[in-house]
Amino acid sequence: MTEAIQYSDREPERTATKLPDPSGYRLLVALPEVEETTGGGIYIPEERRDAETVASITGFVLKSGPDAYSDEKRFPNGPWCKEGDWIVMRAYSGTRLNIHGKEFRIINDDSVEAVVEDPRGVSRA
């Protein structure tokens, strides 16, 4: 007989203890923090910072799924990126995750557009 797990109001809130492992041909990408002020010191409202995060085109590759870049017909020259690379990806791509107040994305391996050495200064046109 299977027991149902029940949570009472007295139990502490549960939070994720580690990042998820992407499955298949997907990549786990961390998004850079959006600055709270402009270069000139003007405060950027939280709504605008959230919109910038959602539309972000840069990210840091944290993990690769077991099948990422394994299809030699689609990737005849090998992987487009590796764990530890800063990438440019399609805006609004992937599945958005919020873990401990930080935003992450799980994207397909073919959503990577470029690898960049330094993402600062890279923005949508």
CA distance linking residue 46 with residue 53, whole number of Å: 10
Rounded CA-CA distance 93/57 in Å is 9
Asked if residue 28 has pLDDT above 60, the reply is yes
Q: Which pLDDT belongs to residue 1?
A: 45
Instruction: Band the pLDDT of 2: cuts 50, 70, 90.
Output: very low
Q: What's the pLDDT score for residue 11?
A: 52
Name the nearest CA neighbour of 88 among 44, 48, 118, 49: 118
Rounded Cα–Cα distance for residues 105 and 60 (Å):
10
* CB atoms closer than 10 angstroms to residue 114: 14
Residue range 26-116 forms a domain whose CATH class is mainly beta
Residue 24 CA: distances (Å) to CA of 63, 65, 66:
12, 5, 6
pTM (2 decimals)? 0.74
